[in-house]
Structure 1
Amino acid sequence: MIPSTGQNPALRFAPSPNGPLHLGHALSALLNADMATALGGRLLLRMEDIDVTRCTPEFEQAIYEDLAWLGLDWERPVRRQSEHFDDYRAALDALIARGLAYPAFMTRGEVKARVANAEGDGKPWPRDPDGAALYPQDERSLSDSERQRRIDAGSRHAWRLDMGRAIEACGEPLSWTERGDGETGEIAADPAAWGDVVLWRSDAPSSYHLSVTVDDARQGITHVVRGLDLFHATSVHRLLQELLGLPAPVYRHHRLILGADGRKLSKSEGDAGLSVLRRQGLTSADVRRLVGL
């Protein structure tokens, strides 16, 4: 059980409407709903639809139908990230003003080539907890005039957090309260393991790290319940919370539902889709049994 924070408890289920929900989503949604009920709190719904090319109204409507079939109810209105880009931009601008974010001009191909060259010479390249290569730090030292020259010239760029400066700005070690299915207690945050994370993408507004941090604060979320695959990312979110003066929720990272290949379910696995199970005649009680609740 997740303890109360002393605030009016609020939990959220935050899917991306870019495909059908599956059993992994069902577990997360049901845990959020069950804990909101146990705490006498609120259940909110958020559509993480920053990727406006892949997210569609049809998928969003399907999510509502799946959640209603599971017997869930949630507060209205639903928060859609695509309606709040100004909130994320304001947060980014606050970090830029403090010298904690910088424009990053290297393409994915350039980064990949840099990593391959280094590793080809036998030099290990640092990687984040998900196994992705960290972004090179070259552009941290570019002058403001050079950065502006490139931007004025139309160079495509993202905005990245200067992790070194950001950690220094916090001034003290960070941690979060964890009540999940893995480690529990007060967990030491290690944002440096992620390097200079993207805050604002070159091909889409904002990023997951920035938007989820801002959204949780805007919605008054006191308890974040989500999959263990996001456990380590909490270090970045705690750092952004401190830098932006936002409250820190209590976290519960729950076990994952795995597919036949032993990997986390994806939206491409149709046999685990909730709409498929519904058409097969299963009930919400059946789904609870399938996800081990």
Structure 2
Amino acid sequence: MRFYICADIEGVAGVVDIDQLQPSGSGHDEARRLMTGEVLAAIEGVRAAGGGEIVVADSHGNGRNLLIPDFPDAVELVQGWPRPLVMMQGIEQGRFDGMLFIGHHAGAGSTDGVLAHTMSGRLIADVKVNGESWSETDLNAAIAAQFGLPVLLATGDDAYTGHVQRILPGTATVTTKAAFGASSARSLTPAASRAKIRSAAEEAVRALPSAEVSALPQAPLEVELTLKRRQATELLAYLPIVERTAAHTVRFRVGDVLELNAMLYFVTAYDPKGALF
């Protein structure tokens, strides 16, 4: 059996502050170790239940957070940017039996999630798809469904796991910390969090025969994107497929979740002056 893991950092136990998120921050080295530990715990659980090949997408920040030397054989890592499927790159290569979200966070519309955002905390205020606010997990779970994969496990703070239980009721969750605010929480210790994740991953893989792929949203998708910067909204509306509906909001239509994923990544990452090649 093959399994796919999408790994992020904001939902990891012990990660609460923006200083832990970027290589320039004094807390980033510690956060990398914490993130790596939780992903390794999930891998141990998957393997204990009979899982074989595992692909892990390092999907936070610069895409080079996980400590590669710590990983066992038969695990492959997706790293770096840009990449066409963004956080879910690699899921399109071969057949997988299921996937896990490790260390994820609530979306931009959350009022209480730790370090909550969607795609870009500096740019995006909200993403609505067919009238509903979407988080990264809404989008990435839909991409998993596009490729026929059930989401077996999701881990993060209580705002995040509560959201997952609403949108993916058949998915197991592990709550790594209880949010007090945007950058504060009551967290499990790394050892306790890893133990819970390992156990939950093993149980989720053993329950794979009863797992269901989530339903895809009705296409075409009507998207309403609200940005934090008014000028960014103005410039985006120069694209002929985009309609500006308010000072900070645009609307556009896409055919499926893969097109949406590409569009959101373009909006948040396009920087021709910063391109190296």
| TM-score (ref. length: structure 1) | 0.27
Higher Cα radius of gyration = 1
TM-score by length of 2: 0.28
Higher helix share: 1
Per residue, is there more strand in 1 or in 2?
Answer: 2
Where relative contact order (Cα < 8 A, 6+ residues apart) is larger, the structure is 1
